[in-house]
Chain A
Amino acid sequence: MKLNSPMEVWKYLPGTNCKACGEKTCLAFASLLLERKKKLEECPPLFEPEYAEKGKKLAELLAPEVKEVEIGVGESARKIGGEDVMHRHERTFFNRTALAYDVWDTMKEEELRERVRKITDWKKFYVGEFLKVDAIAIRSVSGEAKTFAGCVKRVAEETDFPLVLCSFNAKVIEEGLKEVSDRKPLIYAADKENWKEFLEIAKRYKVPVVLFSPDLDMLNSLAVTFSSAGVEDIVLDPGTYPEGEGLQQTFSRFVRIRRAGIMEGNKGIAYPLMSVPMSAWMIHEDGDKAENRLEASYWEAIIADLFIIKYADIMVLHSIEPHSLIPERTLVANIYTDPRRPVSVEPGLREIGNPTEKSPLFVTTNFALTYYTVESDISSNKIDSYLMVVDSEGIGVESAVAGGQLNAESFKDALESFKVEDKVKHKTMVIPGLAARLSGETEDVTGWTVLVGPRDSGRIPDWMDKNWPPETVS
């Protein structure tokens, strides 16, 4: 994207403040365009002859540096690519790395369906929402077109997730594609041998296509050839070598491709990137099975870590064990959150469930991560209670106690300014275990009874069994 401020965008808008977009002013609309929260199409005048010229120019200037490609349809469709910066603090990364987990066409039907359901249904609560994974990659191990097509059909019956159809044999891909031609799957992959057939298929079925080559001249050539032929929904796989010098060079390729696209404006290669951390499994085949599987899944997660950070827009993974899914998906959430979003929530007294004057009063800080964790732990366990969110300048409990942002005085201020006594008659508060060292002083300063809760709010239910109600309440 070539524009940096709302004013620069505004210059290309009609400037009539007509409100057709739902915003009060063109400038407000301009800033939302910049944030990608509104689309140009929401400004109808821009498509009238008078402004059409400006509109066209604006569309060009607003286009992200890396092409944005959509895979799948409907609610679970995922956009990948569309990035504008090399480092998240320069603005933000926009479209999180799509995590695709694999199935293969030699799986027994029941096993296949169960794996697809597991991938589709997986969820993990994190900062106010449930994380899910993104896509399913179907590998043709058999190399048989009919077998693959049957597998694709069954997967499609079980899930709405976007699909990645994987085979270097164009005939196999086409048979599979026929089953899901309305689902806009990503097809994998065209290489230096088969690209003509893949180009033909991508055109005919209007589906996004992955181009594969670790030789970057060849990869660039394939991309230019496809886009010249009118196929613009391209994803590039420069190959994921799992170890040693190969891994080092893979890292180098991902960084240099993205650099060429974003910093040097090389449109010929500015496409979303695919990484395949599951290549880790190909080097972990010997030895004890269980231990070996664990090793392979760890190494796969390590490769995933590298390329979640350095520029993979979609990746294919194999382990669907919880110890893989949880950290992989959490890292994606961390790297792809907008670094400009506030780190704190509003301090105040929150009611969870239907608390009465005898319900417990829990205390936490206004660091967003801490707050959402505590809030969800209490509400998910259906504990009717009050939660006092103390202003710790947006810092978590442990650091805020060490740094002095959380102290006996801040508890006192919170009790007074939120008028907690009006609601909680028992004058007893439960402070976080990590703030235990503040308990004595807090009792002195506030006159309230202080109970020290668990060090992790996930243990509040256990703590309640043993400690609630205390004598001061009953």
Chain B
Amino acid sequence: MARTKANANANPKRISLEEIARILERYDIIELEDVKINGDLEIELAVGGVTIPPSIAQALQSIISVPAPAKELELISTKFEVAKTEWNGQIEEVTIGATPADGGSREVTVTIGGEKALPFYNFDYQMPHPPVISVDCFDMPISLAKAVREHYEDVMEDPGEWAKKNVREFGADMVTIHLISTDPMIKDTPAREAAKTVEEVLQAVKVPIVIGGSGNPDKDPEVLEAAAEAAEGERCLIASANLNMDYERIAKAALKHGHVILSWTQLDINAQKTLNRYLFKMGVPREDIVIDPTTAALGYGLDYAFTNIERMRISALKGDTDLAFPISCGITNAWGAREAWMKNSPIKEDSDWGPAVYRGPLYEIMTGLTLGIAGGDVFMMMHPKAAAAVKKVTRMLFGAKDTEDKGKKVKIEDWVTWEE
């Protein structure tokens, strides 16, 4: 009886030649490779009346007489396949800015949202619009990290010039004017005066603008109301309505004067749903809402911001219409991270931190890109290099044809032998 090496170590099992023949025939086997027969054995062909086809006889012969050549390894050829993920929900498409045809004076408008898949998952569904960058300016000189300040020193006194520089030199798709001087703790600038600043900025640039308050919950409704009126018909993004303030007054002003409203909550999905429902109840159309679920800096809560945005986006794609809105992220918050601006580490045991001017922009870039991967559609940013880098990489991932691709010219596996 023949015993193959394969089952020599497993449960010893007797197998008759007749069975071998049947097995070989069933699988259409004409030759057995890599089979060694151990010990002395005798095989009588055609025992017990079994007729063995010549091919099988040959196969058996190959087992018995000729040692099989060492098996030439062969690649097991397979296909890689994976299904698309299809979602029921779709993110609302929102346009910011209005051209003269629509009652505004913008030369260009910006459209965001419309996604039916996770950000940059073009293999599931082509992302309809690339994310956009809105570069910040303020209505008064403010304290900024050195790496940021050096780019704005010449325009800090003049919001109009500041806004112009953002578009002309830093490629801003939009400009955000923060009316921070209106805070009673800062300058308590009257709402009427703040509205003039807004007019100035609208005249200075032709891109859509975002109008931000000071963050003071008592003063902002009044300030944003006046600003909305001054910017009548321009379809600005009014930033922002929040549950801790008279959001109704802000939403009403946005509705009345034809603007988009930014619905801002603090890292809380349920609060975001609640505020959005209040806005629906007030009659704010869905295409007039953008949400800001709060941005935290790299190292300072970015994990919460990332997951909060990612969860909102996934819920929206699954069909939660309360959350199916484009997302705006205040990436400038990245500069709150001490690593972005502090000269040396306050922790004595830390390895050297190197020059702060190199760290800061990268903190802003990585905070922005990370939240872009989570679901961000609008990035409010500040450092020119950071704004340009986030724009470049998100456009590449979006699939814009205008991006460079030197990568095509390099053999990527050559990184192994690459020399500076």
Q: CB < 8 Å: which of B123, B185, B417 contacts A256? A: B123
Beta-carbon nearest neighbor of B419 in chain A: A141
Within 8 Å of chain A (Cβ to Cβ): is B40? no
- Among candidates A243, A256, A333, residue contacting B404 with C-beta atoms closer than 8 Å: A243
Q: Is the CB of B80 within 8 A of A246?
A: no
Residues of A within 8 A of B405 (CB): 243-246
Residues of A within 8 A of B410 (CB): 242, 279, 282-283
A259, CB-defined interface residue at 8 Å: yes
Q: How far is the CA of A302 from the CA of B358 in the complex (A)?
A: 14
Interface centre among A143, A256, A333 (most CB of B within 10 A): A256
B396 touches A305 (CB 8 A): no
Q: Please, which residues of chain A bring their CB within 8 A of the CB of B336?
A: 398
Distance in angstroms between the alpha carbons of A257 and B82 in the assembled complex: 8
Residue of B nearest to A167 (CB): B416
Identify the closest chain B residue to A118 (Cβ).
B351
Residues of A within 8 A of B26 (CB): none
Q: Secondary structure of the B side of the interface?
A: loop
- B321 at the binding interface (Cβ < 8 Å): no
Return B396 CB to nearest CB of chain A, in Å.
5
Kindly list chain A residues whose C-beta atoms are within 8 Å of the C-beta of B413. Answer: 168, 189, 191, 212, 239
Instruction: Please state if B407 and A246 are interface contacts (CB–CB under 8 Å).
Output: yes
User: B78 and A221: CB pair below 8 A?
Assistant: yes
Which of these binds chain A: B96-104, B198-206, B251-259, B361-369? B361-369
Report yes or no: B76 in contact with A225, Cβ–Cβ below 8 A: yes
A89 B310 Cβ-Cβ under 8 A: yes
A330 touches B365 (CB 8 A): no
With a CB–CB cut-off of 8 A, which chain A residues contact B369? 302, 305-306
Q: Chain B residues near A217 (CB, 8 Å)?
A: 77-80
Contact call A282/B414, Cβ cutoff below 8 A: yes
Chain B residues contacting A337 (CB-CB under 8 Å) are 303
Smallest CB gap from A294: residue in B: B358
Total number of B residues with any Cβ neighbor in A under 8 Å: 81
Q: Residue among A188, A323, A398 with the most chain B CB within 10 A?
A: A323
* Beta-carbon contacts under 8 Å, B308-358 to A: 310-311, 314, 336, 338-339, 342, 345-355, 358
How big is the A interface, by class?
35 or more
Beta-carbon contact of A330 and B339 below 8 Å: yes
Which of A5-13, A66-74, A264-272, A422-430 forms part of the interface with chain B?
A264-272
Q: Known interface pairs A221-B77, A248-B397. Does A380 touch B349 (Cβ–Cβ under 8 Å)?
A: yes
Among the listed A241, A305, A458, A459, which residue makes an inter-chain contact with B370, where contact means beta carbons less than 8 Å apart?
A: A305
Most chain-A Cβ atoms within 10 A of its Cβ — which of B77, B123, B351, B396?
B351
How far, in angstroms, from A278 to B370 measured CA to CA in the complex? 19
Q: Which residues of A contact B (CB under 8 A)?
A: 87-89, 104, 106, 121-126, 130, 139-141, 143, 166-168, 188-189, 191-192, 195-196, 199, 212, 214, 216-217, 219-222, 224-225, 228-229, 239-248, 251-252, 255-257, 259-260, 263-264, 266, 268-269, 276, 278-279, 281-283, 294, 298-299, 301-302, 305-306, 309-310, 316, 321-327, 330-331, 333-335, 337, 339, 343, 369, 376-377, 380-381, 395-396, 398-399, 402-404, 437, 456-461
The 3 A-B pairs with the shortest beta carbon distances in the complex, nearest first, are A244-B405, A322-B354, A458-B346
Point out residues on B near A: beta carbons under 8 Å: 73, 75-83, 85, 120-123, 185, 215, 217, 244, 266, 294, 298-304, 306-307, 310-311, 314, 336, 338-339, 342, 345-355, 358-359, 361-363, 365-366, 369-370, 373, 385, 389, 393, 396-399, 403-408, 410, 412-420
**27 cross-chain CB contacts under 8 A:** A87-B307, A125-B349, A139-B416, A166-B416, A244-B396, A244-B403, A244-B407, A247-B397, A248-B120, A264-B82, A266-B82, A278-B415, A282-B410, A298-B365, A301-B362, A309-B373, A321-B358, A322-B351, A323-B358, A331-B366, A334-B303, A335-B306, A380-B348, A398-B336, A456-B342, A458-B345, A459-B346
Known: A141-B416, A246-B408, A281-B418. 15 other contacts (CB 8 A): A89-B311, A124-B345, A140-B417, A191-B413, A199-B73, A217-B79, A242-B406, A244-B408, A248-B398, A278-B415, A282-B414, A322-B354, A326-B359, A327-B363, A456-B342
